[in-house]
Amino acid sequence: SFGLEDKVAIVTGGASGIGEASTRRLISAGAKVCIVDMDGNAAEKLAGEIGSRATAIVADISDPADVERATQAALSAFGRIDLLHSNAGIIGEPGPIAGASAANFDRVFSVNVRSAVLMIGAVVPEMRRQGGGSIVITASVGGIRPSPGLGIYAASKLALVALAKTAAVELGVDNIRVNAIAPGLTDTPAFRATRQIPAGEDEGIFDNVALPLGRVGSPAEVANMVAWLFGDEASYVTGGLYHVDGGLGV
Ligand code: NAD
């Protein structure tokens, strides 16, 4: 497998969508996972289903005090932190850039970007103490291609790519690898909500002729990339941006 046996991971937004798939994939690769999510019910339910190798940590990662508390909770649960999947994110209020509010900008950037800075700041001292670690940040094809109506979200997602590249350079000396992923259209609760697709309704809805692979992706397909980037096979991979998008970003 990937050499993730008994590695300890933090997955932010780990209770839904891509984060939930990441949690499940890392568990199946032998890791222990701290599910950090502001949706306490979903986090507890998922951790309960997985059992002793997972723990739910209820936190709002846009709050610096919560980030610190969540990191301490992860350490007290499993004693170390090897992997961070910085993944929680929101779209915010849709609408054109001309007309976007300061409040929406601040909310999107504090949940999507500032949280990643704070989470990296919180886990790196522990990774240094342990002699290394690995970080994966969920960006988006939406930050690479123009995203009309989602400009603030797009800007926040490209900012994460910049963070990943610079953090990779700064942390290489500490044997900490940092990479970003760019999912495309992925069938998650957030994706269904923005398109008003009812849960469970699948027939034909995810066919998409505009995509080279002709369909929307699954969260599990994104999680496979996360597990690979965390694993030993990616030991010389840092500062990269990996599309998992069925060709959307070409
Ligand atoms: P989702 O809404 O299904 O899951 C996100 C999870 O994050 C939820 O459990 C939510 O409670 C949690 N969360 C949100 N804000 C939080 C906060 N402040 N503190 C703690 N937890 C918080 O969304 P998803 O579609 O799985 O998206 C996950 C990530 O993937 C996001 O960063 C998103 O931008 C990115 N992404 C998604 C798609 C897609 O098509 N679904 C495409 C590209 C990128």
Q: What percent of the chain stands above pLDDT 90?
A: 91
Token pair 């951790």: residue: 47
Using left for φ > 0, alpha for ψ between -120 and 50, and beta otherwise, residue 92 falls in: left
Among candidate residues 219, 184, 179, 220, the one with its CA nearest the CA of residue 84: 179
Does ligand 1 have an atom closer than 6 angstroms to the CB of 186?
yes
What does the pLDDT read at residue 194?
85
Q: How many angstroms separate the alpha carbon of residue 74 from the centre of ligand 1?
A: 20
Does ligand 1 have an atom closer than 6 angstroms to the CB of 55?
no
Q: How far apart are CA 63 and CA 36, in angstroms?
A: 13
Is the pLDDT score of 25 beyond 70? yes
CA distances from 110 to 62, 63, 78, 113, 185 (A): 5, 8, 28, 6, 23
Please tell me whether residue 180 adopts helix, strand or coil conformation: strand
Is the pLDDT score of 203 beyond 80? no
Q: How far apart are CA 233 and CA 74, in angstroms?
A: 26
> Which structural domains are found in the chain, ordered by start?
8-244 (3.40.50.720)
Average pLDDT over residues 1-30: 96
What does the pLDDT read at residue 199?
80
Average pLDDT over residues 152-179: 98
Our answer to whether residue 242 is catalytic in this structure is no
Q: How many angstroms separate the alpha carbon of residue 188 from the centre of ligand 1?
A: 9
Is this prediction's pTM over 0.95?
A: yes
CA distances from 130 to 83, 92, 171 (A): 12, 37, 13
Average pLDDT over residues 43-50: 98
Does ligand 1 have an atom closer than 6 angstroms to the CB of 61?
yes
Please tell me whether residue 34 adopts helix, strand or coil conformation: strand
Encode pLDDT of 112-163 as tens digits: 999 999 999 999 999 999 999 999 999 999 999 999 999 999 999 999 999 9
Q: DSSP letter for 60, please.
A: -
Encode pLDDT of 78-91 as tens digits: 999 999 999 999 99
Other beta carbons within 10 Å of 102: 7
Is the pLDDT score of 1 beyond 70? no
Q: DSSP letter for 186, please.
A: B
The bridge status of strand 241-244 relative to strand 8-12 is unpaired
Q: What percent of the chain stands above pLDDT 70?
A: 100
CB 131 within 8 A of CB 81: no
Q: How many angstroms separate the alpha carbon of residue 143 from the centre of ligand 1?
A: 15
Nearest CA to ligand 1 atom 3: 17
Q: How far apart are CA 166 and CA 169, in angstroms?
A: 5
What does the pLDDT read at residue 197?
85
Other beta carbons within 10 Å of 198: 8
